[in-house]
Amino acid sequence: MVRYIQMIWLALLLPLAAQHQTIHAHMNPEGRVVTLNLYHFSENRLESKISNGHKKLGDMMDRDGEMAGVSIGLGKNGHPKGVHLDVINGKISLHDHATDSSIKVGPYLLRNSSMTGSLDETLHERRTFLLHDGKSRWILGYAPVMTRQQLAYALDWILKQKKANFVTAIELTNGLQSGFWVNRGDNLHLYLKELNAAPCILSVKLARQN
């Protein structure tokens, strides 16, 4: 029975029917490059854009602008520096938040083209959020509904896999929504699982530029 359940999980994790995008962008002056592989299993359309001339990567979600994205880079003092992407009527506007006190170590909830420190918003089943470790690792994703029991099961399953372990588990909205880091070599994976639905897998890889 356990083997059968694991096979189901493996089947769900294969992104055969998912929309897949790979984006490359310079991450910092040291020559590291971030590769973003996003497997999106939602009916909503996903679009991506790299801002010009700033060595930052930004994502926008939802064509109606209900969800926006944040781009993270490194400022002159080595601290995280962000560019806020607003998506309104199909147009993109950039807002530099280099001195904004809201740019801190995550997670942060991104909603309605604004960034807040609260994770208790309840307007949508899926939340767009940002995770950042204050150094060079960051991730932008959304969290589906996930109970604590499902989260515990998912973490237990990951621990049983070879060369895989979760770094951080977070709970959004008092455990109703969850996401977590999974570390496999140089790749940082965020697995999001919801009942009776395929997962969203967001993978960020930092590599030295040739």
Omega within 30 of 0 (cis) for the link into 144: no
Is residue 120 included in any domain, yes or no?
A: yes
* Structural domains counted in the chain: 1
| Token duo for residue 17 | 């029917």
Residue 53's pLDDT is what? Answer: 26
Q: Residue 160 pLDDT more than 60?
A: yes
Give the largest Cα separation in the chain, rounded: 54
Is residue 45 included in any domain, yes or no?
A: yes
Residues 45-56: tens digit of each pLDDT = 332 322 222 222
Residues 25-51, mean pLDDT to the nearest whole number: 34
Is residue 173 included in any domain, yes or no?
A: yes
- Please give the Cα distance from 181 to 8 (Å, whole number): 21
Is residue 18 included in any domain, yes or no?
A: no
Is residue 3 included in any domain, yes or no?
A: no
Which phi and psi angles does 110 have, rounded to 5°? -110, 120
Strand, helix or coil at 84?
strand
Is residue 1 included in any domain, yes or no?
A: no
Is residue 103 included in any domain, yes or no?
A: yes
Is residue 22 included in any domain, yes or no?
A: no
Average pLDDT, the chain: 39
Residue 154's pLDDT is what? Answer: 55
Higher pLDDT, 146 or 12: 146
- Please give the Cα distance from 168 to 183 (Å, whole number): 10
Which domain covers residue 40, as residue numbers? 27-208
Residues 39-66, mean pLDDT to the nearest whole number: 30
Q: Which of the residue ranges 113-117, 158-162, 179-183 has the most confident prediction, judged by mean pLDDT?
A: 158-162
* Amino acid code (one letter) for 152: A
Closest among 63, 80, 172, 178 to 122, alpha carbons compared: 172
Higher pLDDT, 129 or 86: 129
